Structure 1
Amino acid sequence: MTEWEDWRRHLRRIGERRLLVLSGSETWAMARAAELCPEDSLWLGPAPAGHEARDPARILRYLGREYPCLVYNAYGGLHPDAFGALLGTVAAGGLVLLLCPPLADWPSYPDPDLARYVALPEQADGLESRFIRRFAALLQQDEQVWLWRQGQPAPALPALPDTPWQRRRDRHGCLNREQRQALACMLHAARRRQPLVLTADRGRGKSSLLGLAAARLLDAGYRVLLTAPSPAAAARALEHSGQRLPFMAPDALLARRPEADLLLVDEAAAIPSAMLLTLARRYCCLFASTEHGYEGTGLGFQLKFQPALARLSPGWRKYHLSEPARWSPRDPLEPLVFRLLALDADPVTPPAGGELRIHRLEPRQLIEDESLLRQLFGLLTLAHYQTRPSDLRQLLDAPGLELVLARLGGIPVAAALLVREGELDPALGQAIWEGRRRPRGHLLPQSLAFHGGFREACRLSYRRIMRIVVHPRCQQQGIGSRLLDWLKRQGGADFLGTSFGASPELLRFWRRNGFQPVRIGLGVDAVSGLHAAMMLWPQSPAARALLPAWLGQFGADLRHHRQGLLRALPDACWRELDLPLPAVSPGQDEPRVRDFAFAHRDLPADQPALVRFLRRTPLPATLPAHQLALLEALLAPGANPAEVARRLGLKGQKDAIQQLRQVVQQLLPPPATDC
């Protein structure tokens, strides 16, 4: 222990951090970690007595803080987003202790995190993790990783350099030249009322600079507010402002609209892009954030928000910090995390010409070819705003995932990720239709059955295109359409389908390739600010026979929602939808109406069917006036059940909907019961 303490002091003196792996039984690993780490360590996952166990999935509450030691118990599940984000909370001279099974056994360990990548829990049974196999191999290749295996003596501690790390603040509070330049840019932007985006990897001092800028502006008489995903995430900015900076949560800002000359937004990538844009319209904002996508909204901040900000404020500015401020530039932990999670993966620049070749790729080929894995993941990251480290694990581990790659001159230039869905057990399909079950996965059949009102949806099979990406330098050359044509020829399901944020450009692309819209989500996505669209291309005779009826029902529902929940959908989207004349039979509406009344179907989704049913059904003359008023209020396009409940003096939204179910029950024969 004397040698250990001397080594720890040396580590603090050089300002670097290290990863220690304790590989063995969970009991042994937790006991060793408790001996090695101070009491104020952050424990993620299961912890021994005397230590508080924290949930790795709830990472936002820890961002913006610093810890001398982070213990990550991977027996509770290796969550890639949490691992990547929270290693940035470890201070200079700090340690990360990773507790895991014996490395040779770890890939086949029943990791609880695998449950996020399967539709049903039993699908994770016996699943070997390629992600963990790669992860463990990279750990063993790194000379700066200290690996202690149970049953073996503690190995020699890694050698440390002798050069001390010195950190001195200048008269402005900055630690290096980059920070001084960034502070000057922030103050200049604030005085000219220009939005500014400050980006950096963790540990570069973004939050500290927000606080320093705020202190200067407050002294000059500016009214400055601070927001962040949580008060804890704003702690460092508040500290460097001298605790003079008023903090308000983003939703409170939008609700109360306080007056301010400047709004500082910390950890901006963890706030939905649509919310950030609303704040940018109301205030002059300085945004600070990472761009690697593990903070909560993927790469939406970089790929969605920043282009939208440029359209809103063409004079916006951006400054990037690259030099670490919270630890030494020689720190080996950050480069290791980037390799483990492919955070620095980049696609290769495509050649000017060559033959386009399209083929399937097996996940095992990615494990065997690290260069190909990084090229592919870089392509996915570059082209999609919701990519995060968990997508790397999904790419390698998710069962039923299909990967198709397009190469130009041997270089990956486009890719499609597909997942097989549907053909659900009839009992499960009926429970989904009625609103009693919502298992993980099977997005298309579940949504089409429960929200779309297509009773047959769960029994059919689908190949859902989760992602289709084309390198930016190869776009507008028809490569995406050629990739779709290749997929159409493969068969293997009733429908080829997709779900995406409904922008006019994407609707046009999918319509041009023969896909038909069958659902538009009634709410907007928190990251993109767009309604979800679902589109299908029929591959089997059964699908081709069924699709016209689905399109007619969808068109009839859409006509109703256009007056209500979809009235804000842009005209350009309506032009791209271009639906046939609505046509729906009573036989299509009646199952929806019955299972709304006697089961748990969704009011907004089934409102059009209920309205059509009531047009055909005479109301009893004995129907009380208050029930008639409830019918009229809740079935009006765009009705807000909570507001209706308040207006009619009911207990709340659930009470209003339950009373509506009871009214509709009176208009139907009772459901059949088994004798």
Structure 2
Amino acid sequence: MLGSLARDLRTEAHRANERRVLCLAGDGDPEPSLREVLDAASLDTADTVLLGHRDLAAVTRHEPRRAGALLGTTHDCVVVDLRDECRPNALGRAVGAVDGGGLLVVLTPPLDDWPRRRDRFDETLAVPPDTLDDVAGNVRRRLVTLLRDHRGVAVVDLDAGTVEHDGLTDPAPVRRSPPPDPPAEHAFPRVAYDSCLTADQVETVRAFESLRDPNTAVVCTADRGRGKSSAAGLAAGALAAAGRDVLVTAGDRRGAGELFARAREVLDALGTLADDGTDTVRASDGGRVRFADPAVATDLPEDPDVVFVDEAAGLPVDLLAAFLGRVPVGYATTLHGYEGAGRGFAVRFRDRLAAAADDVTEVTMADPIRYAATDPVEPWAFRALLLDASPPVEPLVVDATPESVEYVAPSPTDLLADEHLLREAFGLLVLAHYRTEPDDLARLLDAPNLSTRLLTHDGHAVAVALVAREGGLDTEACEAVYREGRIQGNMLPDLMTGQLRDPDAAGPVGRRVVRIAVHPQVQSRGLGSRLLDELHTEYADADWFGTSFGATPRLLDFWYENGYRPVHLSATRNATSGEHSAALLRGDSPLVDRHTGWFRERVGDVLADTLRDLPVDVVRRALAASEFTPPDLTDREWRLVAAAAYGPGQFDMHPGPFRRLALAALTDSTLALSADGERLLVRRVLQLHDWEAVADELGYYSASGARRELGRTLQSLAESYGTKAAHDERDRYG
């Protein structure tokens, strides 16, 4: 029975160049059944990959957390064992790695019982003081329904030995399209076009030809399986063959594997591949294709001629925009997928492209390469993991204002029952954050400490916030955390206890805003602030409110305007985003007072040390959001400041009072310093960059020009804060 079904599914999938899903559900040992499926469907165990915690059928196995190993690979069969851990990201990666004509085999407990069971992924959602019993099973409940109801999905009850659904669709045989013709005129070698499998790929490679010229950018978007990375790789290889130095970056090096493989293929076909045993693809005449992590790539190491950004939606827009105007750059990204939010990329990056001086070419790839357009597994995966979730279309929300919207507090059960609202809410999150992924859907529906709050306009979501309850640990637990240094799922108490060494930080109960997003059509109308106001009112009994994010001046200003104050800036950059994280708190409690005060006390020291390279405008906005403390200088220190401001004194001889004065000035909202003056205070006085570097970065013709501007800034501070000693010193110089 099972062998016959597996053979029929594989035969049908191969005939139509589609994929099929085979769900094997039951409590017994699935290995004999899995072996029967592989044998009957003529699937090579050497090419079959398993995601799970148990070895089965002698196939290559990866832990679900290591599902990224499938990036850039394709297989005739991928098995995902969901019995021990139902991790949505792993399921998404498994689907994406199955080739046309192949099978995705899903192992589950009995489907009727599955939503009530708890697994290893649920353990990550059970945030103290919640327990595993508090985790819901909504994601599995939803998945069970879609396994049973969707085309192309077969379900077998192994315990009963019955077939619930055979998953057969009787599709028409696939009609193979002839190879596409190369363009009549092309600058890249003919072999780059001979490798293209669709007309879409030909058009995309042709578009990448413009990267031979300065001040150019190409943006290629597509769903998975359309060959966008291959097209970028063919173009990269052609550029390297012409002697160009091509730098490739992506959130994950493995995900760029297809790009490098196609670049190597072009050079090999041209007979110019010079393989030196490294990951760099080299041409015999000096061209090359090499990789750098995103945060490094923005510095353009070794001055590349061209940059390719693969899976660009998985990176922050600020990082993507850093290449514009500096080097020809090609962006390739998935529209709907776990690598990143392609829809969000398209919307958020559009303004940056429009403002750039580059000549921008945009191209979209629609024709699937690895499977037919009629493949039923792609829409099943899109729906199961909400990969194609999107916010309301613009006409439905264009009139939304803070006065017209309604504050809505849906429970996870409410969202599960309202697919329309769930898709809109999750679509807003996808749109707003570059790393929203399927695991976030599970957190939204199942995590007991997480709440979803919305603003709706005529029933449509226009703003969404995810809010986590954190803290609330008893005295014994707080002491254990202080000694051992970790609290699962309690991000801010963990930071305040472990890094900032506050033994009492995990006791008070707080609310952390994990994500907040507003529909792009109605941004800058106060809807984000309105949503925060509602949260503050609903959770008025919270000891604190908090948030943490990759620090940018714009985001720091938004949170400052809503009453949040910084308590921490991370010393290291995120390897993907290139940003330093900021943590902010709001509230009238001893904990908030303690940590905002401690930040103000230590920030001067860390800016001269571990935060010495923090972007200057991030420092300005973080300090602007901090509590103002008037400068406390002795008479002698005021004379030193005034001598440097008006006379021959030098701040380098005694920098301490100048640093305290700069900190006061940069936290004083009533002081009207110029932006250039503030930047000088940050870079030279607080971060201690040398004069030449400061002058170069801030656009002064010389170091002496920067010195004179700092002198004028110090004069303003002496006039604003100076004592009689400062004014007497000033008068000495007329």
TM range (shorter): 0.7 to 0.9
TM superposition shift of 1:66: 1.2
Call closer, same or farther: CA 1:298–1:528 in 2, change over 3 Å.
farther
How many Å separate the matches in 2 of 1:550 and 1:256? 38
Q: Contact conserved, 2:92 with 2:385, CA < 8 A, in 1? A: yes
Structure 2 counterpart of 1:25, from 8, 24, 27: 27
Answer yes or no: is the 8 Å Cα contact 1:413–1:471 preserved in 2: yes
Please tell me whether residue 358 in structure 1 is matched to residue 407 in structure 2: yes
Secondary structure at 2:29's aligned position in 1? helix
Equivalent residue for 1:209?
231
Cα distance change of structure 1 residues 196 and 121 upon mapping to structure 2, 3 Å threshold: farther
CA–CA distance in structure 1, aligned partners of residues 202 and 552 of structure 2: 41
Q: Secondary structure at the match of 1:92?
A: strand
Whole-Å separation in 2 of the counterparts to 1:97 and 1:339: 18
**2:176 pairs with one of 159, 163, 166:** 166
* Equivalent residue, structure 2, for 1:467: 515
**Which of residues 288, 291, 294 in structure 2 aligns to 1:249?**
291
User: 1: distance between equivalents of 2:211 and 2:515?
Assistant: 38
- Report how far residue 470 of structure 1 moved: 1.8
Deviation of 1:351 (Å): 5.3
Task: Give the secondary-structure state (helix, strand or coil) at the position aligned to 2:65.
Answer: coil
Q: Which amino acid aligns with 2:568?
A: R
2:253 matched residue in structure 1? 230
Q: Given the alignment, which residue of 365, 376, 379 partners 1:321?
A: 365
Q: Is residue 2:607 matched to residue 1:562? A: yes
**d(CA) in 2 for partners of 1:459 and 1:164?**
63
Say yes or no: does 1:581 pair with 2:629.
yes
Asked whether 1:15 is paired with 2:17, we answer: yes
CA contact (8 A) 2:21 2:167 kept: no
Please, which of 532, 536, 546 is the counterpart of residue 585 of structure 2? 536
1:394 aligns with one of 443, 451, 476: 443
Once the two structures are overlaid, the 10-residue window that deviates more, 78-87 or 522-531, is: 522-531
Structure 2's unaligned 5+ residue stretches are: 182-192, 274-280, 283-288, 633-655, 661-685, 689-734
What amino acid does structure 1 have at the position aligned with 2:522?
Answer: C
CA contact 1:66–1:91 (8 Å) conserved in 2 = yes
Structure 2 SS opposite 1:427: helix
Q: Is the 8 A contact 2:152 2:376 kept in 1?
A: yes
Q: Which residue of 2 aligns with 1:425?
A: 474
CA shift, 1:459, in A, is 1.6
Deviation, 1:219, is 4.8
Alignment of 1:407-426 (within 5 A): 407-426=456-475
Distance 1:5 1:548 in 2: 67
Task: Indicate the residue corresponding to 1:482 in structure 2.
Answer: 530
Letter in 2 for 1:202: R
1:360-390 Cα deviation digits (max 9, x unpaired): 2111101111111111111222222331111
Distance 2:373 2:337 in 1: 22
- Separation in 2, partners of 1:423, 1:582: 35
Note if contact 1:189-1:196 (Cα within 8 Å) is conserved in structure 2.
Answer: yes
1:273/1:300 contact within 8 Å kept: no
1:300, 1:527 within 8 Å by CA — same for their partners in 2?
no
CA RMSD of aligned residues (A): 3.4
Question: Contact 2:565 / 2:626 at 8 angstroms: preserved in 1?
Answer: no
- Report the Cα offset of residue 146 of structure 1: 0.8
Which amino acid in structure 2 is aligned with residue 234 of structure 1? G
Unaligned runs of 5+ in 1: 585-607, 613-636, 640-675
Q: Match for residue 376 of structure 1?
A: 425
How many residues are matched?
585
CA contact (8 A) 2:214 2:327 kept: no
Given that 1:555 and 1:582 are in contact with CA atoms closer than 8 Å, whether structure 2 keeps it comes out as: no
Q: Following the alignment from structure 2 to structure 1, what is the Cα–Cα distance between the partners of residues 454 and 545?
A: 17
Contact kept, 8 Å, 2:237 with 2:263, in 1: the verdict is no
Name the structure 1 match of 2:384.
Answer: 340
1:144-159 to structure 2, matched below 5 A, reads 144-150=152-158, 151-154=160-163, 156=166, 158-159=168-169
Distance 2:687 2:6 in 1: 65
Residue 52 in structure 1 maps to residue 75 in structure 2:
no
2 CA distance for matches of 1:583 and 1:451? 28
Identity, in percent, stands at 33
Match of 1:458 among 497, 503, 506: 506
Following superposition, the deviation at residue 120 of structure 1 comes to 4.6
Matched to 1:463, the amino acid is R
Residues 2 and 112 from structure 1, CA distance in 2 versus in 1: closer, same or farther, beyond 3 angstroms?
A: closer
Local SS of the residue matching 2:112? coil
- The answer to whether 1:286 aligns with 2:367 is no
Matched, 1:103 2:151: no
Q: Give the deviation of 1:421 after TM superposition.
A: 0.8
Structure 2 SS opposite 1:27:
coil
The correspondence of residues 260-279 of structure 1 with structure 2, limited to 5 A, is: 260-269=304-313
- Tell me how far 1:259 sits from its aligned partner: 5.9
So what's the TM-score if we normalise by structure 2?
A: 0.72
Contact 1:517 1:536 in 2 (8 A): yes
| 1:182 corresponding residue in structure 2 | 204
Mapped contact 1:82–1:294 kept (Cα < 8 A): no
In structure 2, C-alpha distance between the alignment counterparts of 1:521 and 1:239, rounded to whole Å: 39
Alignment-mate amino acid for residue 447 of structure 1: L
